[in-house]
Copies of this chain bind each other. A is one copy, B any other.
Amino acid sequence: MTTPASTTRRGRPPKGAAQLTRAGIVEATLEVIGTEGVGGVGVRAVARVLGVDPKSLYNHVDGKDGLLDAVTEHFLGSIALPPPAGDLRGDLRAIADAFRDRALLHPEAAALVLTRQLASFEGLAPIQRVLEVLRAADCDPREAVHLMRTLLAALIGTLLREVNAGPTYGTDDTEGIAERQATLEHSGLPAVAEAAPYLARFDSRAEYEYAMNLALDAAVARIENSSRISR
């Protein structure tokens, strides 16, 4: 009974002597997400990687939903926001890049976080940053909120596809590309068939570049327009 290693577990041995902490629980949850996917997260699964009784988790986290809340919180808090440099476009871009960096670090978790409402309190720091940058460019607060929401939506939509596409949909999977291209060419949809070579490929980095450039172009243009009018 002194050795608790008899329960069915694969992977690493019970965590370093087992003092249960919220941070440790988050880490364990991320491990589950990484191996079993978001769908595999659960009180029992997380307890298993911690080598601990499932019910013990209830002393630190509010059940299964609390587990998900905790990783969302952690994700949002871990975004490394760069200080604004005074250049509208560059500053917005840097915030988006910081967001993306974290999303790519934990792709499975990112999809979850992006979907859960970002209004959680931990999510306020990025919002403060974006508004700050927009205000510095003479955008009035009302428009700034609209713009921020629109930029965030574009970013999330882009990242969501990026993390969902995963490595399967990469550029180097030549036989997969060929197969998809063939399917699209025989779809009976002319515009789809015509664009098949491009539709069959997906370069995450390039798509991100394109999408962000378009979104930032639009944002910058709108701000320059409205401040010219008000002068």
By a beta-carbon cutoff of 8 Å, the part of chain A in contact with chain B is 111, 115, 117, 124-125, 127-128, 131-132, 135, 141-142, 144-147, 149-150, 152-158, 160-161, 164-165, 187, 189-192, 194-195, 198-199, 207, 210-211, 214-215, 217-219, 221-222
Interface contact A192-B128, CB-CB below 8 Å = yes
Copies of this chain present: 2
Shortest beta-carbon distance from A224 to chain B in Å: 13
Shortest beta-carbon distance from A109 to chain B in Å: 14
Q: Which one, B131, B142, B207, B215, contacts A218 given CB within 8 A?
A: B215
Shortest beta-carbon distance from A37 to chain B in Å: 12
Specify the chain B residue showing the minimal Cβ separation from A183.
B121
**CB-defined contacts of A217 to chain B, threshold 8 Å:** 218, 221-222
Interface contact A207-B154, CB-CB below 8 Å = no
Given the contacts A157-B160, A160-B156, A194-B141, A214 and B219 also touching, CB distance less than 8 Å: yes
Q: How distant is the Cα of A144 from the Cα of B210 in the complex, in angstroms?
A: 12
Shortest beta-carbon distance from A176 to chain B in Å: 12
Shortest beta-carbon distance from A155 to chain B in Å: 7
Specify the chain B residue showing the minimal Cβ separation from A131.
B191
Q: How distant is the Cα of A161 from the Cα of B190 in the complex, in angstroms?
A: 33
**CB-defined contacts of A199 to chain B, threshold 8 Å:** 127, 145
What are 25 A-to-B residue pairs whose CB atoms are below 8 Å? A115-B115, A115-B164, A117-B164, A125-B189, A127-B192, A128-B187, A128-B191, A131-B191, A131-B194, A144-B191, A144-B198, A147-B214, A149-B207, A150-B154, A150-B214, A150-B215, A153-B154, A153-B157, A153-B160, A154-B157, A154-B211, A157-B160, A214-B218, A214-B222, A215-B215
Given the contacts A150-B210, A154-B154, A157-B157, A198 and B124 also touching, CB distance less than 8 Å: no
